[in-house]
Chain A
């Protein structure tokens, strides 16, 4: 049973990582949002499994939290924004996806190496998860670097939060509840503020392209 759930977790972890890669290479904003939602779902499921297998009841709450926040609310908000800003169908050009992929793979290797000594001492189910969590965090980071528009950058930011959550749940059976609530609140508020920002940016630069925001520099 133990190792079965462990394998399950590893499976979902792998899926999580896969999705991060997918986001890294995804051109269309809309599908990016869907991928994000999917990632949230994976996170939720893995959290539930961890909760079940390790009998950590408060993890159910955090799973629910994740579900509500990351699978429902945030994607919903994003969808509405897309509609309102009618950038629903817009496609952004990334520079050279294969290169990005290669870098991503290198990052994964790096992350696993980094996490290896820690995984050794980790509990049964946290064998490789920490490495995967770290990898997905780094991948989201990479994604933010490569994105040239505002919305995808924000999605990358949120994906990073996913990675962190995954680390929290799978590696440490979840943070204390109060902390998780606080984090969730921050993410939510942050999302709202970003929403406001999109509109302001839009009306000031009449585009969400970040290349308009390179005025402040040393000349």
Chain B
């Protein structure tokens, strides 16, 4: 019962704070670039605006195109609500382990790309192609990162991983270092961040994610924006769960919840700032450098796993 309550709480929580994180990152970036910035709440305002506009669909848009935003949103929401953000006893988490989580991201990605190809514009297909290009390398890398953690905790269920890493006696896992680097690279790529993608331009040479959603407007666009905010949140919280799981409340430990909540906000603030910093100091790379970038991430992750086995036996 409590579990279910907690689950519902987390669901609403993630949906609500996701745009905030996005706004915070953008704000930090603006500050780092000596701009005053749009303010932390800008994403909310954007969505409100979009929800008041009329939706425009291309003539040859198929049902696929119309349904995709909802599917995307649902997937990302599910993903974000599965990660143990503040507590580990989530009734849903047994249903979906880390592999399935990666599967959900993949599902979302495939739908994004398909929807992008639906109108049949040059930009749409271009975006879809690039998205899949990034994805087919990011996905295994992410999975390998998870495998490293799973190999440490002998489990692929995220909650168990968190419990092992957070609450067993503290050990330094060199493998996790590799995994962490790889994970950050994946995070940048998956969330269309510099150096892989630049969310703030519509420049043909560079854009990936934006190219795919060019044709969307109003409510659909709003949902997509929201979904990507959720995705960012999900990835950040996954990062916390794997590499700094401290403060997450154990099952049934209600007293720890406020503490965990506070911990979460602190972590998010730091992480957002860090992300912004990363984006500022690194430059956007050519699209054909991206495979090398992702390949490096993939190799690092595999290396992490190998290192673990090396020490494990």
A touches B in complex, CB < 8 A: no
